[in-house]
A and B are shown apart, each in its own frame.
Chain A
Amino acid sequence: MANPSTSSLVDHFFRNEFGKVVTYLTGKFGVAHLEAAEDAVQDALMKAMQSWGYGKVPDNPTGWIIKVARNKLIDHLRRQQKVYYATQLPETETEEPTISEDLFKDEMVKMIFACCNPAISTEYQLILTLKILAGLSIREISSALIKKEETVAKSYTRAKKKFKEENIILEIPSPEDIQNRLGVALKAIYLLFNEGYKTTEGEQLIRKDLCEEAMRLNQLLLDKQETNNEQTRSLMALMHFQVSRFDARLDEEGRSVSLQNQDRSKWDNQHITLGNRYLTTVSDGMTNAYFLQAAINGIHCASPDYEHTNWTYILILYNHLYSLNPNPIIALNRIYPLSKVHGPELALEQINELSNNKLLAQNYLVNATKAEILLQLDNLSDARAELELAIDLCANAKEREYMTRKLEEISL
């Protein structure tokens, strides 16, 4: 009678259990049975939903789900005698196993490495991670990625096929391999985060979930000695800083608000504090792209308003970032701080050079940035022309709306 009701379950309990238990069972029965493990856990959760709602949750809810899912999986495999002889299969159990959080964490880290295997394309890495580890349904993934449900379903089927073809096993990479493999995993995690963060279109709740999932997976890597290094900690700092601004990016009408105009009192200080805490644990940051990006974000977070931003530091960090990774997007992002430190004339010169770069062709941010620089030079007519071009090129409705408002302001 003392058992708690379902309201005592933490948010996302089912979703997190899905990832944990699918991973655990796949580890026990082999990657070949990933699909059957997913079905078994789905069934077990459905059974939990149908029973627990009557009022009580078992003492060991995770053990309950494992027991039910495991027995369903064994039944399924037993029916498929060609895979296993029934005698080789473990007996179904009546006991609810108690499995330590540490064991789950170990298994989940192995699954992160499996889903983020370099033999799998980044698109498939993302879908495998979202479906298996994050416990999202195909419909939720399609809504979060703003893609068609059937497209995501097809990709997932192909991704799972690839997963099996590559004979991926659940393991922690060898010490010689782990740095490279961790790099691939961190890239996938940051991609996942950005999928949630990058646009203000679509349903915000599910998009924020992606950001939270990315951070949860990164936390799993931080909890393990072999995978807790300066890269992992820097990425965590970066995500904390960015997510602190999640709600401030939209105004009451759901319109996009640029960094310059955000209400900084809406920034989440808890995330900013955590971001700073992770940053201070990094000693060699200048060759670490996550650190540099995190530090740039950290400076914005520390500044009382946009005017007082320490552009000198930001420019130095961008210079380091560009020398690590000389890509035109970074060069473009460097233009505004450059204009603040060395004046708009030099910035205009550099952005004009940049705009010939093929990789930036048709990118509205070039014109939008140019408009900012021209405004600093009081060249209103050219600024207007650039903004108009940017509005034409921009596919994001919220951004377009923002630039249209800006255009109206300077046309007054």
Chain B
Amino acid sequence: MKQYLYLFRGGDEGYANLSPEEMQAHMAHWTEWMTKISQNNEPVPGLPLHNEGKVVAKGGEIITDGPFTEGKEIVGGYVLVEANDLDHAVEISKGCPIFEFGGTVEVREAVPM
């Protein structure tokens, strides 16, 4: 098994117009999906990220405030999953609720150490 990083990007524009009721429903989809992709009876490791942050460059000489890119590009969170190969990892990502509002999942294979 290899490790894959999912980077969840975007969806924020679609979220802005949701009613509280719709938000709760969408959140429930995330919980369901996270449960579905859990492995070895454990939730997959991963966390949501705040939109705010800093970009540090040149050894700290340049520090800029986020957001760093357009709203649809911001990474909103990540998880690490195990899969046989890239195709398999892509397959697992297909049920992700981020697609409901136009977001994307970037799937990256981790280099084993």
Contacts and interface: CB of A to CB of B under 8 A. Distances in A.
Interface stretch (A41-49, A89-97, A319-327, A349-357): A41-49
B46 interface: yes
Contacts of B47: 54
A7 B21 contact: no
A6 B35 CA distance: 11
Interface stretch (B23-31, B55-63, B80-88, B104-112): B23-31
Contact of A54 (B22, B29, B30): B30
B27 A53 contact: yes
B48 interface: yes
A135 B17 CA distance: 13
Interface in A110-159: 135-137, 139-140
A137 B20 CA distance: 8
A74 B11 CA distance: 26
Interface in A26-69: 42, 45-46, 48-55
B19 A49 contact: no
Nearest to B77: A54
Interface in A96-116: none
A18 interface: yes
Contacts of B23: 14, 45-46, 48-49
A5 B27 contact: no
B52 to A, nearest CB: 11
Contacts of B34: 53-55
Interface string B1-43: 0000000000000011111111110111111001100000001
Contacts of A15: 19-21, 24
B26 A49 contact: yes
Nearest to A6: B31
Contact of B31 (A17, A50, A55): A55
B19 A12 contact: no
B20 A45 contact: yes
B72 to A, nearest CB: 14
B76 interface: yes
Nearest to B19: A137
Nearest to B15: A46
Nearest to A53: B30
Interface residues of B, number: 26
A9 interface: yes
A365 to B, nearest CB: 34
A45 B24 CA distance: 9
A54 B20 contact: no
Contacts of A48: 23, 27
Contacts of A9: 24
Contact of A5 (B19, B22, B31, B77): B31
A186 B90 CA distance: 55
A135 B76 contact: no
Contact of A14 (B24, B29, B43, B97): B24
Contacts of A45: 20, 23
Interface string A230-254: 0000000000000000000000000
B43 A17 contact: no
A6 to B, nearest CB: 5
A50 B48 CA distance: 7
Contacts of A137: 17-22
A137 B25 CA distance: 14
Given A50-B48, A51-B48, A54-B48, A14 B31 contact: no
A105 B85 CA distance: 55
A184 B27 CA distance: 38
A163 to B, nearest CB: 20
A50 B47 CA distance: 10
A13 B17 CA distance: 18
B20 A18 contact: yes
Given A48-B27, A139-B19, 7 more contacts: A7-B28, A13-B24, A14-B20, A46-B15, A49-B18, A49-B27, A136-B19
Interface of B: 15-24, 26-31, 34-35, 43, 46-48, 76-77, 79, 97
Interface of A: 5-7, 9, 12-15, 17-18, 42, 45-46, 48-55, 135-137, 139-140
21 contacts: A5-B35, A6-B24, A6-B27, A6-B30, A17-B20, A46-B16, A48-B23, A49-B18, A49-B27, A52-B27, A53-B28, A53-B29, A53-B30, A53-B97, A54-B46, A54-B48, A55-B31, A135-B21, A137-B21, A139-B17, A140-B21
Which 9 A-B pairs rank lowest in CB-CB distance, beginning with the nearest? A53-B30, A137-B19, A14-B20, A14-B24, A53-B27, A49-B27, A51-B48, A49-B23, A18-B20
